[in-house]
Amino acid sequence: MTITLRTVLGWRDIASVADGAPLSLAPPVRERIAYASRIVERIVETGVRAYGVNTGVGALSDTVVDRQSQSRLSRNIILSHACGVGLLLAPREVRAIIAAEIANFAHGHSGVRLEIVNHLAAFLDKDCIPDVPSRGSAGYLTHNAHIALVLIGEGSARVAGKAMSGREALAAIGLEPVVLGAKEGLSLVNGTACATGLSSVALGRAERLLAWADAIAALTLEAAGCQVSAFDEPVLALRPSKGIALVGASLRSRLKGSGLVAAALGRRTQDALSLRAIPHAHGAARDVFDTSAAVVDRELASVTDNPVVSGTPENPVVSSEAHAVAPALGQAADSLAIAIAQIAAMSERRMDRLVNPLVSGLPPFLASDAGSNSGFMIAQYTAAALANENRRLAAPASTDGGLTSGLQEDFLAHPTAAANKLLALIDNAEYILAIELMAAAQAHDFLGASGTRAEGTDAIYRMVRNRIGHYGDDRPLSGDMEALRNLIRETLPPELTK
């Protein structure tokens, strides 16, 4: 489905474009972009002092650049700011950044020519993905610069998956390198498109992860013989929370009609907290998700250039401000990272209860022949290692310090670092949940005579068994982990029964 930009885009739109949906610009958007470009042209003609238009950038903001050098300034900004290092971003992450950048220009306060936006839109339309190193950004500059390199025929890219130089990539999609005008270099590296795009991708993945967390927890609860009364609606309503209510309803629906749960009624006074507190931890994560999503949507509705242009071509106004700084965005990504780290840690604890013969009531380590078989003993090690790594990744980036540009930029909010860290943490969480899912399905294999599964959990079990079989120490477990991680990453769990 084509995403049409008419006023503003939301994070779901950016995530859809990241996953390959086409992006089109409505005529009023094109008109706004062109109008802002005419304002910049007038600023150049009149010589009104404007940061990044006819001055240097950063600590060089008081250095005036003559009119003949302003195009060279734009090009030089791109070349000098392309300082990223490390592994390349995934194509969908680059697509998200480009889409967010177009959305920012569409507000009509950046001043880039429509030609620039058309080139960026062509990158999306024709699968031209600039090579963007993932590391080295204190805010937004380096990632954006590597995308802009390809616009001017520099850098490198992949077109339909084939690696080539920036100039070759442009030729492959029928375009010529752009000669940048005044302010365009600064606009292309400026703003929060990088962190906003990456955060939109993270939100899409996190939403799917949270849905799976509830579904997998239900399968584990059933295998563990949970005391389902802890999730009764009146009980959970005593702690008001939209998230708790949603998760409680999900668990009740998944477990409705379970013979295994009925057989376990009264077996324990109360379950361990990794079972009993699922609505509270998963619900808190859902509440944090909603808040973080609102922050990203607000960012996309905002102009994040510095400077911004306004007024009219006859009476141009240029305003230096700090809209490119995004403390709220960094804090939102950090908050969601903490929430997901917590539910992943809880998942590892549940998985341990399934394999631990001291508490499970099941064969040790879910092994078919304990002793000669190790079953899922070491899979729990993997989950524990990833949960520990997530604890380190959950440390907030938004509180990091750093001084740049000769004390001119003496406060950094680190939203891009926070978004990158969130994506890495989601990677780990997907694996942890996949390991719990694998163990829960194995546990159910030993419970056939104890009672029937609920319809809602049986659908999950069958989805697992359609991808991997019962484990008997007959193959490397890593393959099963990858298969279920891909299931969690690429699909949604079966729908709840009505």
For 142-155, write each residue's pLDDT tens digit: 899 999 999 999 99
In 369-429, where do the E strands start and end?
A: none
Q: Which tokens hold the place of 261?
A: 């749960």
Mention every residue, 6+ apart, whose C-beta is less than 8 A from residue 267: 225, 227
CA 284 vs. chain centroid, Å, equals 18
Measured distance CA(406)–CA(413) in Å, rounded: 17
Query: What is the enclosing helix (H) or strand (E) of 157?
Result: strand 156-159
Q: What is the pLDDT of residue 163?
A: 98
- With CA atoms as reference, report the closest residue to 289 among 399, 387, 422: 422
Percent of the chain with pLDDT over 70: 93
Neighbours of 303 (CB within 10 A): 19
Check pLDDT > 90 for residue 188.
Answer: yes
Check pLDDT > 80 for residue 496.
Answer: no
Check pLDDT > 80 for residue 50.
Answer: no
Percent of the chain with pLDDT over 90: 76
Q: How far lies 155's CA from each of 96, 99, 118, 131, 247, in Å?
A: 19, 20, 19, 8, 47
Q: What is the pLDDT of residue 302?
A: 95
Query: What is 3-190's CATH superfamily?
Result: Fumarase/aspartase (N-terminal domain) (1.10.275.10)
Check pLDDT > 70 for residue 403.
Answer: no
Q: Which amino acid is at 358?
A: L
- Per-residue pLDDT, averaged over 157-174, amounts to 98
Are the C-beta atoms of residues 103 and 303 closer than 8 Å to each other?
no
Query: Per residue in 42-58, is it b (16+ CB within 10 Å) or e — as a string?
Result: bbbeeeeebbbbbbbbe
Q: What is the pLDDT of residue 206?
A: 98
Q: What is the CATH number of domain 199-490?
A: 1.20.200.10
Query: Residue 370 — pLDDT band, cuts 50, 70, 90?
Result: confident
Q: What is the pLDDT of residue 372?
A: 84
Q: What is the pLDDT of residue 135?
A: 85
Check pLDDT > 70 for residue 210.
Answer: yes
Q: Is the dihedral of CA 433, 436, 438, 441 positive or negative?
A: negative
446: left (phi over 0), alpha (psi -120 to 50) or beta: alpha
Q: What is the pLDDT of residue 64?
A: 60
pLDDT in tens, 128-139: 999 999 987 765
Q: What is the pLDDT of residue 244?
A: 98
pLDDT in tens, 246-266: 999 999 999 999 999 999 999
- Per-residue pLDDT, averaged over 162-179, amounts to 97
Check pLDDT > 60 for residue 486.
Answer: yes
pLDDT in tens, 259-316: 999 999 998 899 999 999 999 999 999 999 999 999 999 999 999 988 899 999 999 8
Q: What is the pLDDT of residue 58?
A: 59
Instruction: State yes or no: cis peptide before 307, omega within 30 of 0.
Output: yes
DSSP line for 31-55: HHHHHHHHHHHHHHHHT---TTTTB
Check pLDDT > 70 for residue 394.
Answer: yes
Check pLDDT > 80 for residue 122.
Answer: yes
Query: Residue 57 — pLDDT band, cuts 50, 70, 90?
Result: low
Return residue ranges of the chain for CATH 1.10.275.10: 3-190
Are the C-beta atoms of residues 471 and 369 closer than 8 Å to each other?
no
Q: What is the pLDDT of residue 61?
A: 56
DSSP line for 244-296: HHHHHHHHHHHHTT-HHHHHTTTSSSS--HHHHTHHHHHHHHHHHHHHHHHHH
Check pLDDT > 80 for residue 478.
Answer: yes
- Per-residue pLDDT, averaged over 370-394, amounts to 94
**Active-site positions?**
51
Query: Per residue in 203-237, is it b (16+ CB within 10 Å) or e — as a string?
Result: bbbbbbbbbbbbbbbbbbbbbbbbbbebbeeeebe
Chain mean pLDDT for the chain:
92
| pTM, full prediction | 0.94
Check pLDDT > 70 for residue 156.
Answer: yes
Return residue ranges of the chain for CATH 1.20.200.10: 199-490
Q: Which tokens hold the place of 22?
A: 């086409």
Higher local confidence (pLDDT), 44 or 226: 226
Reduced to 3 states, what is the DSSP secondary structure of residue 156? strand
Reduced to 3 states, what is the DSSP secondary structure of residue 316? strand
Higher local confidence (pLDDT), 26 or 191: 26
Q: What is the DSSP letter of 366?
A: G
Q: What is the pLDDT of residue 65?
A: 62
Check pLDDT > 60 for residue 107.
Answer: yes
List beta partners, residue 55: 64
